[in-house]
Structure 1
């Protein structure tokens, strides 16, 4: 079949040429008939994965001889979100609930003003105003297309934060915190980003950021290794290249395909080199169907920094952000290099919609998918300076079973019961994908 023309319907905000860029089909393209349904479904999912639309339909119309039209009908999301901020300052829910005894002093509140698809070109602007444990203000803007070829993009980054409490050291693979009435840590960050995207699935990005950090005198005296050499202030310029490859049926909750993220970073350039390292980071996840409603997932996260002699601030390895073993959420393993391997088998047990009254029709149906899963994790973290905990420089492994509850707007609740190699068991809650 030869495509005669491509028509787009239903887009009130999003520019038609942006949709056509993501669709990747143009007049004159040829699709073999035996591949037609698979190809159109793949293109539909590409548009869904932009996070611009709730629903997308791609149909063939006006078929005459070997020629036909492609008609794309989209249902746009809400693009303006004044989202209240209520988040925990601790690394995960369990640490806050158990170890920090549900302290409201360790909660951040505020508002995030998020405008997606600002000019109809899939550009996003986000402003955040936050008080509580961390007082923070930030502004980010990302414009993926600045040229007629839809390949080049740019972005702006700015943030300022300050804290009265600081994680100044680690003992026994547990974070230690120091608090005073004055502000103990202040961080300024500003930067630019550039992106290049020739193919649909691959995006290249370059970030250039400047960071200035200042800590209180008491921290520099009690823990001179925090910033290194007893320093109270540091400044550094950071240059990072990021390669992102995504070919999966969904970015929000993938069940088939591959996701890859690779980063090469040089922190410390010229005279702005108070933190100086080269970092290489890799994250890969492979998703595939095993049999009816049953899926397998294998993920890898790895990082290395050179040189290995770094101040405490630059020694965060396993247990921070999303770099942890399921079942070791209460612990941190400091270091400059780590490797984590995660494997999961999951089966869909429920798939249903909840209908909301008093809501516009296109937003009234909220889909839910419930997945039962079993999993195992393994990992290793290397530290030259902070390798004295029971988990440092040691092979680690965990396992467990759980439930994933996924919906749209990138929402996923994970309920997991895990056991680690220390024999410790527990129920853990998370709100992000486990790969």
Structure 2
């Protein structure tokens, strides 16, 4: 019988343990910043020169600068600002390379020269993906079943009109059928503070993850359409400064399942329902000061948000969630070849009774403990802490020269990192199925070592050999930065 008092006490104890353990890197590696003295040499910015932005509009580039013509700076501070602004330009994901150089005009005046190498922006996309939550799920649990492959096509047009806008069109067949259209306006006002994102999609599928047994997904399939989902989304963004962004999101979902799925799990939509429709309101604040978003090595990233699913208009249920995460990245030593990162994240959901399809916790997206890639853990609340220590063993750039006619693809950067890691998590569920209890309401941890390969256009490949608390070892692969 589930003892709620004991579990709540354990939850509080684990929370305290997580906070203590995750704070160790911050206490050990925190450094104070030295401020410039009044006697330091000062310079005035004369002119700013932009080179290489054949498509990107100047206002998009100037938006990222912390300096402007006519400003007086401490020379050393300006050099630091140029490096930080270079990172901001690279994180737009519009350029292969960006350099910002301070060129002296005389003893008291400098020009700033910005050289940019623009990316290729129009990508006809060929979808060849897996319908499962991860490559490891498909490889180990689904027997490398080729019928679970998704295929299709579309286009991703980045930097539309040179304004960093994005148009995305997608048509997909195979394991899951999907039509999707999305458009992003980074700014819709002259001040370049407010942005807008619009998205619509329609998804159908025969196979439905209708249940979890022994912490593994179970699928229902009968060679007919068992799941349909219409999704509409509008997101308003506010970026008042360089590193902080507010998101206000309003969405609508209209989902249906077949009677056969509802009969297999009456809690899928709750109460044996075959229809689930609701409006969702969401607010999120993010602080992003990472050096490179696609594979960060220095900086910090934080998110806090609240999500309300079901507003009492068309839905018959309510689900309120509060979530957050904070990640800190350090480079260790002057040669910047050793790196440390620590991430703590969590979610708290108010309602005790929740639909099965909305209770995804560990094992989905980026929330997982390495060593448990073949399992999932559902619950109401969770805490997750991940730590990486990396060493860069290779940094190289291959120049294809005239062999590659497209300038944007001539230089191939290759970085390779060796790493070790330790992850820990706790998922709280008031009434788990007995078969799922081995990983629910228990302290989970995993550790191991691996290699990361990083190359052009934000491509990342991970190979990891991990061990979990059950003393199970496994070799796993991933295709994006672990965090």
The TM-score with structure 2 as length reference comes to 0.88
Cα distance in 1 for residues equivalent to 2:396 and 2:102: 28
- 2:3 paired residue number: none
Pair 1:398 & 2:440 matched: no
Distance 1:289 1:387, change over 3 A: farther
Aligned to 1:117, what secondary structure does the other structure show? strand
Pair 1:361 & 2:407 matched: yes
Cα distance in 2 for residues equivalent to 1:320 and 1:44: 33
- 1:17 paired residue number: 59
CA RMSD of aligned residues (A): 1.3
Pair 1:299 & 2:360 matched: no
Cα distance in 2 for residues equivalent to 1:159 and 1:278: 24
- 2:73 paired residue number: 31
Cα distance in 2 for residues equivalent to 1:9 and 1:343: 40
Aligned to 1:249, what secondary structure does the other structure show? coil
1:212-259 per-position Cα deviation (integer Å, ceiling 9, x unaligned): 000001111221111000101011000111212111211111111001
Q: Which runs of 4+ in 1 moved over 6 A?
A: none
Residues 49, 113 of structure 2: 8 Å contact kept? yes
Cα distance in 1 for residues equivalent to 2:353 and 2:345: 22
Q: How does 1:24-423 map to 2 (within 5 A)?
A: 24-61=66-103, 63-291=105-333, 292=335, 293-356=337-400, 357-386=403-432, 388=434, 389=436, 390-423=438-471
Residues 341, 388 of structure 2: 8 Å contact kept? yes
Residues 320, 351 of structure 2: 8 Å contact kept? yes
Residues 314, 336 of structure 1: 8 Å contact kept? no
- 2:482 paired residue number: 434
Alignment coverage as a number of residue pairs: 435
- 1:4 paired residue number: 46
Residues 387, 393 of structure 1: 8 Å contact kept? no
The TM-score with structure 1 as length reference comes to 0.97
Cα distance in 2 for residues equivalent to 1:18 and 1:212: 37
Cα distance in 1 for residues equivalent to 2:411 and 2:374: 37
Bigger strand share: 1
Tell me whether 127-136 or 89-98 shows the greater mean CA deviation.
89-98
Cα distance in 1 for residues equivalent to 2:322 and 2:380: 11
Cα distance in 2 for residues equivalent to 1:123 and 1:84: 21
Residues 120, 408 of structure 2: 8 Å contact kept? no
- 2:12 paired residue number: none
Residues 309, 384 of structure 1: 8 Å contact kept? no
Aligned to 1:209, what secondary structure does the other structure show? strand
- 2:27 paired residue number: none
Q: Alpha-carbon deviation of 1:283?
A: 2.1
Q: Alpha-carbon deviation of 1:428?
A: 0.2
Distance 1:387 1:258, change over 3 A: farther
Bigger helix share: 2
1:90-111 per-position Cα deviation (integer Å, ceiling 9, x unaligned): 1222221122111111111111
Q: Alpha-carbon deviation of 1:431?
A: 0.5
Aligned to 1:43, what secondary structure does the other structure show? helix
Residues 140, 374 of structure 2: 8 Å contact kept? no
Cα distance in 1 for residues equivalent to 2:440 and 2:301: 29
Q: Alpha-carbon deviation of 1:75?
A: 1.0
Structure 2, gaps ≥5 residues long: 1-42
Residues 309, 385 of structure 1: 8 Å contact kept? no
Aligned to 2:78, what secondary structure does the other structure show? helix
